[in-house]
Structure 1
Amino acid sequence: MLTPQSLGWLKGIDLTSNLVSSLLLFIGFVLLRVLVGRIFSRLMIENGEFKRKLYVYTKNSLSALFFVALVIIWAGKLESFALSLAAVAAAIAISFKEYFLCVLGGIYKYSSQLFRVGDRIEIRDLRGDVVDHDFLTTTLLEIGPGSKIHQFTGRTLVIPNSIFLSHPLINETAQTTIGIHSFEFPAFITDDLETIESHLMKAAIEASTPYMAAAEESYRRLARAEGIEEPNVKPRISKFFPEAHHVIFVVRFSAPVKRKGKVEQEIVSKFLKTIPKDAFDRDQ
């Protein structure tokens, strides 16, 4: 006959069994993570970006399986303690608010497919190439400084996923690896604007011509897939006047997303080599 003492003893055994199972599961998870890391470090794959994507996918899949297995182990206990957990849920939610927001941001990021490893993104003045991401954080190799410089700074940014819930994200490589880019060139109203514009256009054509055919094909596929009008990828110069006596030339050109900084510098270098010095008003 089962007595209250024997029932308590059986419950204790059941709880101990769950704890042991959870401990063994955690040890197995850690060992698998280490093993996967070593396997990928020795894996010979020429495409480094594909290798990184595969590693992140494998690592996140292991994490998801670990949490599912943990829930299965404790499912019975969680059901028993459901009412008790509800009593402290509010306190836990307040204490771990940022943690939960990061998890929600991670779920939103994965379900919406905001970006992948290797994409170049910008959010809240933070910009860089994605090298790792999970349910809590996203790791970037910083590009900059600022939005006008396209070089690696040497710094690594670790961003909490909660930021994706409250700020817009710019993915520079979301649709295509080659696209249309632009930069600004300042001048004075008294400069030889016609000469400046013609030399900027010539430099832009020379620098972007090798990429125009690929850009046209890329945007043609995008237009068909999304049902939008196909954009003109040829170089273009626009002008606007931010204030009196000042002119801004906006130089638009086609280039690979991750080479736009180099192409921009090539355009500027070609322009400076060919522009007559008297095109600029030295009195300004």
Structure 2
Amino acid sequence: MGSLEYITNWFSAHPTTTSIIKYIVWVLFVIGVIQFLRSFLKRRLPAANSRYKAQKAVEIFGYFFIIVLTISYFTGSIKDFTLAIGLFSAGIAITLQELFLSLAGSIYIFIVRVYAPGDRIEINGIKGDVIDIDSIYTTMMEIGQWVTSDNYSGRIVKLSNAFVFKGPVYNYSKDFPFIWDELDVMIRYKSDMEITKQIMISVASEILSDYTAASKEKWGEIVNKFYIEDAVLDPTLAISLTDNWVKFNLRYIVDYKKRRMTKSLLHNAIHDKINKTDGLVELASTTVEVIRIPNIKINN
């Protein structure tokens, strides 16, 4: 008996094993096609954005095809082993539930567009810019932690896509790429309050004019899209009296990526204008009032 005939007879005598081997070969073939198409698109498409989206589309379609192939193959070719396959699938589902949640999360992210590469988000207590989304993980360039304000920490974080189902996702850039920020300036009580108001509002209107105009256009789209009331987008000033000084609180809207730089520009401009008032406006600082100096006895 020749080798070919022996192999043919063996496959005929073991139909279940033969079907499983065929299934594995099909899956490996599909994975190979996915990798080939990804490499082909990587070489052919010059634009990074188009290349990224095309590769992700091929990957998602390939995994979807494998799922359809698995369902159709096992329900149509191995009828005598339906119970075994069901038990096997249940065991796999329990063991790999986090993996399945991640796969479902990736599909949900792409379909609903919870976020996309380039967005700044906060999820599971981690804040950063999304730099990649694959079928299992979202990769982020981390912001914050041991550095102040919205600066990169230098760490790249991989986060399971399953977290989109487990808690809130804060998106800084989708639909409305602006955030509200505040700045406090402390003024001494003897200062001219009207001049201080004029300085604060004029500086804010000058530096923030572009952000205010752009945010009003975007906010109009938000109001039309969601059930939300209109908001004040121009800089606003609130004054409060404390034991030591008058606190001027400036609230304004700014591009989510330029919050730190804008606050620095506002501080510098306000400080320069206050210095030019010839003492009519003075910045306050913490002071200590001495009520009584105790008597000190010195023995010779």
Superposition TM-score, scaled by structure 1 size: 0.77
Structure 1: distance between partners of 2:206 and 2:176: 22
Q: Which residue of 1 aligns with 2:175?
A: 175
Structure 1: distance between partners of 2:113 and 2:225: 17
2:61 to 57, 62, 65: 65
Deviation at 1:249, TM superposition (A): 5.2
Q: Which residue of 2 aligns with 1:133?
A: 133
Kept in 2, the 8 Å contact 1:180–1:254? The answer is: yes
Describe the superposition over 1:7-65 as per-residue Cα deviations: whole angstroms up to 9, x where unpaired: 4255555444433333232222222222223334xx1x4xxxxx43x334322221222
Describe the superposition over 1:143-183 as per-residue Cα deviations: whole angstroms up to 9, x where unpaired: 33479612333332211112222221111112133x34213
Deviation at 1:235, TM superposition (A): 0.5
SS of the residue corresponding to residue 275 of structure 1 reads helix
Q: Output the amino acid matched with 2:165.
A: L
Structure 2: distance between partners of 1:14 and 1:282: 81
Kept in 1, the 8 Å contact 2:147–2:153? The answer is: no
Structure 1: distance between partners of 2:214 and 2:63: 44
How high is the sequence identity, in percent, across the aligned residues? 20
Structure 1: distance between partners of 2:68 and 2:228: 47
Q: Which residue of 1 aligns with 2:30?
A: 25
CA gap 1:104/1:205 in 2 versus in 1, 3 angstroms: same
Greater helix fraction, Structure 1 or Structure 2: 1
Structure 2: distance between partners of 1:121 and 1:169: 7
Kept in 2, the 8 Å contact 1:119–1:130? The answer is: yes
Describe the superposition over 1:265-284 as per-residue Cα deviations: whole angstroms up to 9, x where unpaired: 21122223333584213525
SS of the residue corresponding to residue 26 of structure 1 reads helix
Structure 2: distance between partners of 1:278 and 1:105: 55
Q: Which residue of 2 aligns with 1:280?
A: 284
CA gap 1:98/1:213 in 2 versus in 1, 3 angstroms: same
Deviation at 1:110, TM superposition (A): 3.2
Structure 2: distance between partners of 1:246 and 1:78: 76
Number of equivalences: 270
How do residues 91-240 of structure 1 correspond to structure 2 at under 5 angstroms? 91-145=91-145, 149-177=149-177, 179-185=178-184, 187=186, 194=193, 199-226=199-226, 228-238=228-238
Deviation at 1:208, TM superposition (A): 0.1
Q: Output the amino acid matched with 1:232.
A: V
Q: Output the amino acid matched with 2:65.
A: A
Q: Output the amino acid matched with 2:130.
A: V
Structure 2: distance between partners of 1:108 and 1:244: 53
Kept in 2, the 8 Å contact 1:180–1:252? The answer is: no
Q: Output the amino acid matched with 2:37.
A: L
Greater Rg, structure 1 or structure 2? 2
SS of the residue corresponding to residue 269 of structure 1 reads helix
Structure 2 portions without partners, runs of 5+: 1-8, 276-280, 289-300
**Alignment of 1:36 onto 2:41:** yes
SS of the residue corresponding to residue 281 of structure 1 reads coil
Superposition TM-score, scaled by structure 2 size: 0.73
Kept in 1, the 8 Å contact 2:188–2:246? The answer is: yes
Deviation at 1:222, TM superposition (A): 2.8
Q: Which residue of 1 aligns with 2:296?
A: none
Kept in 1, the 8 Å contact 2:240–2:246? The answer is: yes
Deviation at 1:197, TM superposition (A): 5.7
Structure 1: distance between partners of 2:181 and 2:124: 20
CA gap 1:36/1:191 in 2 versus in 1, 3 angstroms: farther
Structure 2: distance between partners of 1:201 and 1:133: 42
Q: Output the amino acid matched with 1:62.
A: V
Describe the superposition over 1:81-131 as per-residue Cα deviations: whole angstroms up to 9, x where unpaired: 432132234433332232223223333333432112221111233112222
Question: CA-atom RMSD, angstroms?
Answer: 3.5
Kept in 2, the 8 Å contact 1:185–1:251? The answer is: yes
CA gap 1:160/1:192 in 2 versus in 1, 3 angstroms: farther
CA gap 1:213/1:68 in 2 versus in 1, 3 angstroms: closer
SS of the residue corresponding to residue 25 of structure 1 reads helix
CA gap 1:140/1:196 in 2 versus in 1, 3 angstroms: farther
CA gap 1:34/1:229 in 2 versus in 1, 3 angstroms: same
Structure 1: distance between partners of 2:238 and 2:146: 23
